[in-house]
């Protein structure tokens, strides 16, 4: 009996300890009720409509509904049309998204892809008022759009500082997933300064907040009830939330919105360079300890970088003292510089660090493309390629003085291992210009074994570097 009493007392102590621990944990979890009460009036539902030519498609039997806007943001309009499909009668398409009021004058922020191509934009407020909105402007590169409504009694949201965000802190989102107005979800900041493949100008905030179609354009809040981001994208394999959500930092969005309101367009800095990542082998070939920075593969001859003295093969390491951790960092750093301003670039050239001051240009409205004989003299067998000379017209078109065209590639050779292909134009090797096939043979004969060597190529009219490593014979 005494033993049973002792066991019972032990279990009671454990139960009390567990309850105390659960109570403590509950007290530490954030309470979003006050945040939602204050912020909800400033969050809006956005619906758009547009007239399109009806086409036969695999989605015809979905009741004529618009494909969810978040899918269209990722995949565009590239849905297949079966044989026999074609234009038919016009029909109205509708889509849904979210947004939020930023001032009492009626300005509203959302995503550019939410209102893209819209013939009519309707904004529904928390008090059920429905208003027609004017599109002030949109910027596809940052996916930010600014709307304007004419109404009284609006409730603008408090805007925070996204630069103060820290990984691990709590955040919440309010939006209209699948049309369910003012749904609230919460989570933590998973990462900051994320770069996505199609969005080089936005240092995204990554969260695990549940975001679904219809949340796009809605606000992301910190625990102080301040907007720190605009929910923009999700990573998904199923079409729904999978724990990876991305928001545009509010500091980036506000800069874009201010330019759209004041100028009707967005100006961003431009260097006029084509860049590529620095791989580990390329880093070794340039004498770098670690792969970092952005490698200049080519330059617009009329662009700011070329005019300021940059060269193909330079590795940009810093912009005004801020490190270029990878090639994807450079467009963001330059893009936020006002055109006409000077920046100091720290470069690595021929194994030595140097400084260059460049006057940044304005991003051109249209990006130009760079364009791309016979008779072959074999390059040494060490490379495993056969090359031929270039015609003068080809050199003139590419703006180069020398170079050779790769005619054949031995799939077992060093060149193939480096990624060199038949049709490539080889213009330099180990930082030395290639004048022609005979001179290439001389250069290759002098190359060291078992060390990565930088090779500059033109492929499909574009310049790039590869790292070539020669094996001992």
Q: Where are the alpha helices (DSSP H) in 241-346?
A: 250-263, 280-285, 304-307, 329-335
Tens-digit pLDDT profile for residues 31-50: 999 999 999 999 999 998 87
23 carries an active-site annotation: no
Residue 331, phi then psi, degrees to nearest 5: -55, -35
What is the CATH superfamily name and number for domain 377-469?
Answer: PDZ domain (2.30.42.10)
User: Quick one: CATH architecture of 39-148?
Assistant: Beta Barrel (2.40)
Residue position matching structure tokens 């369910």: 180
Q: What is the pLDDT of residue 246?
A: 95
Same fold, 269-362 and 377-469: yes
Write down the catalytic residue from 98, 113, 285, 414: 113
Note the Cα 151 to chain centre separation in Å. Answer: 35
Q: What is the pLDDT of residue 387?
A: 82
Write down the catalytic residue from 47, 95, 98, 143: 143
C-alpha–C-alpha distance, residues 39 and 230, integer Å: 14
216 carries an active-site annotation: yes
Q: What is the pLDDT of residue 134?
A: 95
Q: What is the pLDDT of residue 208?
A: 94
Tens-digit pLDDT profile for residues 371-380: 223 333 445 5
Q: What is the mean pLDDT of the chain?
A: 82
C-alpha–C-alpha distance, residues 256 and 200, integer Å: 15
Task: Give, in order, the Cα–Cα distances in Å from 104 to each of 134, 198, 338.
Answer: 15, 34, 29
Indicate the domain borders of the chain.
Answer: 39-148, 162-263, 269-362, 377-469
431 carries an active-site annotation: no
Closest CA to 286 of 440, 433, 467: 467
DSSP string, 339-407: TT-EEEEEEEETTEEEEEEEE-EEPPSS----------EEPPTTTTEEEEEPPHHHHHHHT-S--EEEE
Classify residue 241 by its DSSP letter. -
- Long-range CB contacts (< 8 A, 24+ apart) of 56-62? 56/81, 56/82, 56/84, 56/85, 56/86, 56/88, 57/81, 57/82, 57/85, 58/82
Q: What is the pLDDT of residue 468?
A: 87
CA atoms within 13 A on the CB side of 447: 32
User: Quick one: CATH architecture of 269-362?
Assistant: Roll (2.30)
Q: Under a CB-based contact definition with an 8 Å cutoff, are residues 348 and 355 in contact? A: no
Q: Please report, in tens digits, the pLDDT of each residue of the chain (473 residues total).
A: 555 555 556 666 676 766 655 555 455 789 999 999 999 999 999 998 876 555 444 444 444 444 444 444 444 444 444 444 445 555 556 778 999 999 999 999 999 999 988 889 999 999 999 999 999 999 988 999 999 999 999 999 999 999 999 999 999 999 999 888 889 999 999 999 888 766 778 999 999 999 988 899 999 999 999 999 999 988 876 666 777 899 999 999 999 999 999 988 888 899 988 888 898 999 999 999 999 999 998 888 888 999 999 999 999 999 999 999 888 889 889 988 989 999 999 999 999 999 999 999 988 753 332 222 333 344 555 787 878 788 777 888 888 888 888 877 777 678 888 889 888 899 999 888 888 887 888 788 788 877 888 999 988 888 889 998 876 54
Write down the catalytic residue from 98, 183, 216, 245: 216
Closest CA to 437 of 414, 400, 403: 403
C-alpha–C-alpha distance, residues 281 and 279, integer Å: 5
CA atoms within 13 A on the CB side of 354: 13
Q: 107-110 and 144-148: which strand pairing?
A: antiparallel
Provide, rounded to the nearest whole percent, the portion of the chain with pLDDT above 70: 79
Note the Cα 86 to chain centre separation in Å. Answer: 34
pTM for this prediction: 0.66
Task: Give, in order, the Cα–Cα distances in Å from 473 to each of 70, 130, 190, 285, 332.
Answer: 55, 77, 50, 20, 45
Q: Which fold has domain 162-263?
A: Thrombin, subunit H (2.40.10)
């Amino acid at each position: 009996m005494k033993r049973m009493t002792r066991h019972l007392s032990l279990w009671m102590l454990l139960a009390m300890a567990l309850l105390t621990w659960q109570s403590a944990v509950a007290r530490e979890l954030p309470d979003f009720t006050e945040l939602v009460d204050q912020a909800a009036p400033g969050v809006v539902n956005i619906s758009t409509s547009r007239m399109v030519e009806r086409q036969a498609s695999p989605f015809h039997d979905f009741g004529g509904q618009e494909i969810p806007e978040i899918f269209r943001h990722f995949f565009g309009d590239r849905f297949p049309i079966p044989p026999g499909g074609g234009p038919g009668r016009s029909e109205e398409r509708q889509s849904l998204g979210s947004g939020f009021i930023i001032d009492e004058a009626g300005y509203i922020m959302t995503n550019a892809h939410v209102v893209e191509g819209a013939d009519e934009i309707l904004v529904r407020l928390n008090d059920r008022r429905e208003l027609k909105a004017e599109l002030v402007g949109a910027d596809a590169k940052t996916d930010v759009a600014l709307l304007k409504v004419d109404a009284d009694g609006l409730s603008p949201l408090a805007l925070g500082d996204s630069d103060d965000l820290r990984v691990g802190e709590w955040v919440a989102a309010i939006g209209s997933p699948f049309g369910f107005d003012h749904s609230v979800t919460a989570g933590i900041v998973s990462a900051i300064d994320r770069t996505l493949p199609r969005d080089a100008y936005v240092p995204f905030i990554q969260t695990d907040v549940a975001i679904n179609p219809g949340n796009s354009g809605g606000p992301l809040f910190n625990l102080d009830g301040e907007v720190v981001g605009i929910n923009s994208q999700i990573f998904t394999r199923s079409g729904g939330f999978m724990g990876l959500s991305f928001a545009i930092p509010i500091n980036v969005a506000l800069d874009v919105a201010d330019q759209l309101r004041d100028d009707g367009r967005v100006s961003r800095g431009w260097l006029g360079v084509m860049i590529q990542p620095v791989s580990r082998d390329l880093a070794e070939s340039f004498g770098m300890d670690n792969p970092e920075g952005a490698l200049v593969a080519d330059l617009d001859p009329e662009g700011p970088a070329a005019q300021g003295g940059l060269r193909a093969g330079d590795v940009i390491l810093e912009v005004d003292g801020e490190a270029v951790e990878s090639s994807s960092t450079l467009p963001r750093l330059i893009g936020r510089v006002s055109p006409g301003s000077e920046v100091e670039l720290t470069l690595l050239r021929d194994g030595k660090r140097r400084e260059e001051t460049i006057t940044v240009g304005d991003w051109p409205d249209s990006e130009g493309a760079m364009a791309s004989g016979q008779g072959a003299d074999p390059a040494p067998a060490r490379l495993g390629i056969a090359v031929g000379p270039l015609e003068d017209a080809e050199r003139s078109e590419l703006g180069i003085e020398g170079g050779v065209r790769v005619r054949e590639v031995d799939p077992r050779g060093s060149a193939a291992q480096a990624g060199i292909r038949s049709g490539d134009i080889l213009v330099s090797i180990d930082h030395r210009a290639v004048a022609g096939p005979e001179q290439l043979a001389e250069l290759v004969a002098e190359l060291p074994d078992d060390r990565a060597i930088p090779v500059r190529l033109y492929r499909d009219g574009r310049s790039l570097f590869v790292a070539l490593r020669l094996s001992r014979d």
